[in-house]
Amino acid sequence: MSIFAGAFQDKRLGYLAAVLGIGAVTLLCAAFRAHLNGMTVSLAMLLVVLFVAAGWGSLPAYLAAGLGVLSFGLFFVPPVFAFTVTASRDWVALGAFLVTAFTAGQLSERARRREVALRESEANLNAAQKIAQVGGWHLDISRNRLKWTDEVFRIFDMPRSADLTYEMFFGKVHPEDRESVRRAWTDALHGAPYDIEYRLSADGNLKWVHEIARIRFDPRGRAVEGNGTVQDITERKHAETALQKSAEEIRDLYNRAPLGYHSVDKNGLLVRINDTELEWLGYTREEVIGTMRFADFLTPEGRSRLEEAFPRFTETGELRDLEFELVRKDGSILPVLLSATAVRDDEGNYLMSRSTVYDITGPKRAENEVRRLARFQAVVAELGEHALRHLSLSDVLDGVTSQVARILNVEFCKILELLPNRHALLLKSGVGWKPGYVGRAIVEIGKHSQAGYTLLVDEPVIVENFATEKRFTSVPLLEEHGVVSGVSVVISTKEGPYGILGAHTGHPRTFTANEVHFLQSVANVLGSAIERQRGEAELWRIHRAQRALSKCNEALVRAVSESALLQQICDIVVEEAGYRFCWVARAESDKEQSVRAVAKAGFEAGYLDPLRITWADTERGQGPVGTCIRTGRKVVVRNIATDPRMLPWREEALKRGYASCVAIPLAIDSAVFGALMIYASELETFGEEEVKLLSELASDLAFGIGAVRTKAAHAAAEEEIRALNADLEQRVVQRTAELRDANRKLEQAHEREIEVGFKIQQFLLLDRPPKDVPGLQVAALTVPSQKIDGDFYVFIRHEDQSLDVIVGDVMGKGVPAALLGAATKSQFLKALTDLLDISKGREVPEPGKIVMLAHAGVVNDLINLESFVTLSYIRVHASRRSVQLVDCGHTGLLHLHARTGVCEIVRGNNLPMGVREGEIYEQISVPLEWGDLLLLFSDGITDARNPAGDVFGMDRLQECVLGNRQLEPAALLETLRQTVFAFSESDRLSDDLTAVVIRVQEMQPATAMAEREIQSDPVELCRAREFVRDFCRGLPGRPLDEESVGWLELAVNEAASNIMKHAYHGRTGQPIQIEGMAFPGRVLIRLHHYGDPFHPAKSPLPQLDLSRESGFGLYLIALTTDDVRYYRDDRGRNSIELVKNCK
Amino acid sequence: MEIPVDKLGGVTVALIAVEELDAGNAGEFKRDMAPILETDTRLVIDFSRLRFIDSSGLGAVLSCLRQLSAKGGDLKLCGMSKQVRATFELVRMHRIFDIFATCEEAVQAFPG
């Protein structure tokens, strides 16, 4: 094709063809001249003209026409071989030739030009399609012939070929998209628009194309042909996918952020909220968007705060760190911090908020923990006070259970009392239990119940979930109330366990160490209270028996008749001793062996009438009276309600308020003739001591009766009577001795009270020293004196690893002092938590502030009670190597410098707490060195006296500390204790002895050290710099880079220069000692001098107005180092310490 | 202190010939700069030999600027080492001095 096309384009070939064509026709016609007429020849010539005209255009055609006319004239028109045009016919032929040549030439020229143009435009189209990545196609539908432009071939990645069909195209469509493409095409054939995107499975690369087609229909509605475009949109698709992915990522970030995000419109309605916040709230998106306001999730208090802040927010566009409590759908509370910025439209109108919500449960919890500790402390103190305030035991127990339930936030709290038989526990007091349980429910002991197990192991037992508990099973009491978890502790007394204190809840929960410790503290206070109550009750009853006995003695001496004596005794027992009811039973010797009341006093109300008691060994003879008479032994019923021996009479007895009783045999010369019956309205009475005294009384009574009988029988036997009387007197003397004995017991009871006070001190006033404060070793010592004192100490650890220690002493002694101590301690904890609250836990409040706030809380009480508290409050920070002291009229702080061995007493001059309202408490700051020792102590040490009356004193204290400073703090304190006791030559001190020792440990040893001394002369500055340079460069591993070394050089230069100028005032020849020390992570240079100290305030950037040329020094030091300390060291040198941290 | 002086196209270039300028020699520097400051108003101080400068040194240079400014002169500095330059920047003195890398640049910076 192309060869031909090229040939037709060459005009020269056209002329050649004209000559050859006419020549050939002439020869042929000449050969067959005989058979041809002129017409045929001329037509043949015309054919040549037409051929040339069609192939090469008009000009060669003219040549052919001319040659044709010439040849025709020469050879075929007679005369032959002569060209003569004579006939007009010939002129017409020549004209026809020329016109044919011209017309055909013009036509073919035009056709050719059109073809060229077409070809050019096709090429242009292809190029354009290639650039646009758009191809075109045409489908002859009836013949199923498909035509593609080059670009379609390229897009479909197919070699250009001729015979395309729809099926071939369809084979290139991605299998998954074929169905949709087919459907679109079928629809298009029925008139639907064809505009689709689909994938190609071309050469393994996935390609996306966009195809649009238009179908032409014939008048009958049949599809005739289709024209379409195909565009490669792979890149666009990729971009779209990427965009979609990043949008998804952003959505994902928004939704799954660990923060809550939401937006509210100008009405406060939620327009957007992320999954995290929805999850916190427990709502679904549908429930909140457009229907709920953020305020709907707040507590009423929070709502009003938000309403107050919202208008300001829409105005300023900013809201920062507002604290709220979110109320979740389930009603629980979530503490959060809300910040927001406003989104505005172009005109600046508020559109919506962009709010961030932080869950601050964590920090809150930590803050709450401290606050809870303070509350625990306060509650234990309050309970202790109640217990000592002579409230009845049941009131104390009820107070304990309700307080514990409240403080630990549990539904159930119980106190189980171990019953006398020691096999079961009685639910003595509690909260949360259904009616009818308290006072009745019994829990078996043994290792199958939590309570029993607790008694067995004698330590707190925590159950997080009974469902997974392996050590024991739940008991009916707990099961019936749906208890799931709990903690129980033993209430111990000196006589053994009293019972169990337990806290339970209906859902799984853990109990923190602090909570368990709190519960145990409550149990301990309770144990002490129970002991005390028991002691008091016992004492009271002994007292009562005592009184009865002593009255009895009088009655005996005066007795005239037996019946009068018996009645008198009964009266005494009831009126003097306060028992509820008393009667004397006489054993009759009748057939029924009946018992008859011969005297009675007190509240009887017909009790004795239907008793029908016998002393025979029958059913009704098993009661206390019958048993007593029959056996001649005392019978004690401590609880009529539960004692089976009282069954026949129980109801009547309880009706009359008899709770316990005792039957004491009356015998003359070992012959039992009756019994003395005494009933008390309290449970658990008739202890050993009481019964002993009452037995004495019964024995006296019997003796008296014997005496009366004898008196009656031998009225004349004066001598005998006198003897008897003497005997009686003897008995009275004996009674008096016994009375004295009882008084001694009373005293013992007082001692027990002291013990209670001591326990309070142990539980409430004295913390355990912490063991794991980095860089500090802490030990504490307390030796109680004969009388309880108000000494206390407190340890508080802060998050920045500093440790607060308070050692205090309340004026006065005894339980009141102990309680005041506890109150003061609580005030300190409260002050600390309040201040932490204010700073939102961001910084630890200064000791001085804590003391002032605590003082404000306690000062009025102290003044009213005419008491005061002296104390030392210190804060030790090991890594900063500093200690702050607030000395409130206490003994100060003993500071032993490790390096020099110098002991120093640091004291402030503040008044004790409780002396003056509004006292300003100043704090003192003292630098520490590694190895330094701090001692806080009570004046019990320094005021200890030896028999000669000398006091132990500060000197001996310092001497002792110095001499034993190499010991561990605990060992040092023990040595101190022994020294004080040895000095006082006694095993009891008159004052409490309290001390706390802290050693500042080297956290890390120095890896390198060097020293140099320079003179106070500016020319020596280069030596200082050289020292720094050499020291730093000589350090193994070069921890400081050259830049840091350069800055440290500059800082040391400035420090030394300042010392020369300001400390030595320009005097030369004075020493400046420079010390270099390297620690892991930092290098430290110290400059020591003996000039005036200078403690610069924080130096601002000096004015650069050219007015000053100096003053850059301090500023440079501050800028070029990581830490600077100005202090006086333990050798009395003024020092500057410069620290450079390694990068 | 020796302070070599050079004239470059109507501008005086004074070289600090020591490696360290501190409280030990800042007074000397000020004293020896005084005659130069008196006679010349277009001055460049060349720092290229200096390795260390302290606050006294900074003060001394500041004093030079003050004196020159007082009589309508101008001072430019050049040739500072990295550390010296950093010290200037630490107290923001690079804001009140014109500091150039080389003497030539400093000299050319003077008008006319």
Cβ–Cβ of B92/A1104 closer than 8 Å? yes
Best mutation target among A1052, A1106, A1108, A1121 (most B Cβ atoms within 10 Å) is: A1106
Any A CB within 8 A of B54 CB: yes
**pLDDT for residue A1111:** 67
Cβ–Cβ of A1053/B83 closer than 8 Å? no
Nearest to B20 among A1022, A1106, A1109 (CB): A1022
Residue in chain B nearest A1042 by alpha carbon = B83
Which of A924-958 are b and which e, b meaning 16 or more Cβ less than 10 Å from the residue's Cβ? Answer: bebbbebebbbbbbbbbbbebbeeeeeebebebbb
The rounded percent of chain A whose pLDDT value lies above 90 is 15
Closest CA to A313 of A260, A357, A351, A272: A351
Cβ–Cβ of A1022/B22 closer than 8 Å? yes
Closest Cα in chain A, distance from residue B71 (Å): 14
Nearest to B55 among A1020, A1101, A1116 (CB): A1116
Residue in chain A nearest B62 by alpha carbon = A1109
Cβ-based contacts of A1049 with chain B (< 8 Å) = 52
Q: For A402-444, write each residue's pLDDT tens digit.
A: 888 888 888 999 999 888 767 788 898 999 999 888 888 888 8
Query: Quick one: how far is CA A1030 from the chain centroid?
Result: 49
**pLDDT for residue A364:** 65
Cβ-based contacts of B59 with chain A (< 8 Å) = 1109-1110, 1112
**pLDDT for residue A382:** 74
Cβ–Cβ of B55/A1057 closer than 8 Å? yes
Any A CB within 8 A of B28 CB: no
Any A CB within 8 A of B65 CB: yes
Look at residue A611 and tell me whether its pLDDT is greater than 70: no
Residue in chain B nearest A1112 by alpha carbon = B55
Q: Give the span between the Cα atoms of A67 and A98, in whole angstroms.
A: 11
Cβ-based contacts of B29 with chain A (< 8 Å) = none
Q: For A658-697, write each residue's pLDDT tens digit.
A: 889 999 998 887 788 889 999 988 877 787 778 887 888 8
- State chain A's mean pLDDT as an integer: 82
Q: Using the Cα atoms of residue A526, residue A529, residue A535 and residue A540 in order, give the sign of their dihedral.
A: negative
Nearest to B22 among A1018, A1061, A1104 (CB): A1018
Q: With contact defined as beta carbons under 8 Å apart, do A742 and A542 qualify?
A: yes
Look at residue A1102 and tell me whether its pLDDT is greater than 60: no
Q: For B6-61, write each residue's pLDDT tens digit.
A: 998 889 999 999 999 999 999 999 999 999 999 888 999 999 999 999 999 998 99
Cβ-based contacts of A1050 with chain B (< 8 Å) = 52, 54, 87
Radius of gyration of the CA atoms of chain A, in A = 58
More confident residue, A1066 or A1098: A1066
Closest CA to A472 of A490, A454, A459: A454
Nearest to A1054 among B54, B63, B92 (CB): B54
Look at residue A786 and tell me whether its pLDDT is greater than 60: no
Any A CB within 8 A of B22 CB: yes
Neighbours of A489 (CB within 10 A): 25
Nearest to B24 among A1022, A1101, A1115 (CB): A1022
Closest Cα in chain A, distance from residue B38 (Å): 18
Residue in chain B nearest A1053 by alpha carbon = B54
* E strand or H helix at A201: strand A194-202
Cβ-based contacts of B25 with chain A (< 8 Å) = 1018-1019
Cβ–Cβ of A1112/B58 closer than 8 Å? yes
**pLDDT for residue A1105:** 46
Name which of A257-261, A871-875, A977-981 the model is least confident about.
A257-261
Q: What is the 3-state secondary structure (H, E, C) of A809-857?
A: EEEEEHHHHHHHHHHHHHHHHHHHHHHHHHCCCCCCCCHHHHHHHHHHH
Look at residue A1075 and tell me whether its pLDDT is greater than 80: yes
pTM: 0.38
Look at residue A1041 and tell me whether its pLDDT is greater than 80: yes
Cis preceding-peptide flag for A79 (omega within 30 of 0): yes
Neighbours of A202 (CB within 10 A): 18
Burial class (CB in 10 A: 0-12, 13-18, 19+), A487: buried
Nearest to B65 among A1046, A1106, A1119 (CB): A1106
Closest CA to A568 of A581, A582, A555: A555
Mean pLDDT computed over A57-78: 79
Q: With contact defined as beta carbons under 8 Å apart, do B77 and B110 qualify?
A: no
Cβ–Cβ of A1050/B54 closer than 8 Å? yes
Q: Which two tokens stand for residue A284?
A: 């679904």
Cβ–Cβ of B63/A1021 closer than 8 Å? no
**Strand (E) positions, A65-133?**
none
Closest Cα in chain A, distance from residue B1 (Å): 14
Determine phi and psi for A233, rounding to 5 degrees.
-115, 25
More confident residue, A131 or A345: A345
Instruction: Report the range out of A335-339, A729-733, A1130-1134 with the highest average pLDDT.
Output: A335-339
What are residue A499's DSSP bridge partners?
A417, A491
Residue in chain B nearest A1045 by alpha carbon = B83
Nearest to B59 among A1022, A1053, A1112 (CB): A1112
* E strand or H helix at A1042: helix A1042-1058
Look at residue A927 and tell me whether its pLDDT is greater than 60: yes
Q: With contact defined as beta carbons under 8 Å apart, do A351 and A343 qualify?
A: yes
Look at residue A796 and tell me whether its pLDDT is greater than 60: yes
Radius of gyration of the CA atoms of chain B, in A = 13
**pLDDT for residue A1:** 42
Any A CB within 8 A of B90 CB: yes
DSSP A265: B
Rounded (10°) CA dihedral A524, A527, A529, A535: -140
More confident residue, A1106 or A854: A854
Any A CB within 8 A of B51 CB: no
Alpha helical stretches, state H, B17-54: 26-39
Q: Which two tokens stand for residue A732?
A: 């009275």
Q: Which two tokens stand for residue A179?
A: 């169905």
**pLDDT for residue A757:** 59
Residue in chain B nearest A1046 by alpha carbon = B83
Any A CB within 8 A of B58 CB: yes
Look at residue A1129 and tell me whether its pLDDT is greater than 80: no
Look at residue A77 and tell me whether its pLDDT is greater than 90: no
Q: Give the span between the Cα atoms of A403 and A30, in whole angstroms.
A: 145
Neighbours of A590 (CB within 10 A): 9
**pLDDT for residue A6:** 56
- State chain B's mean pLDDT as an integer: 91
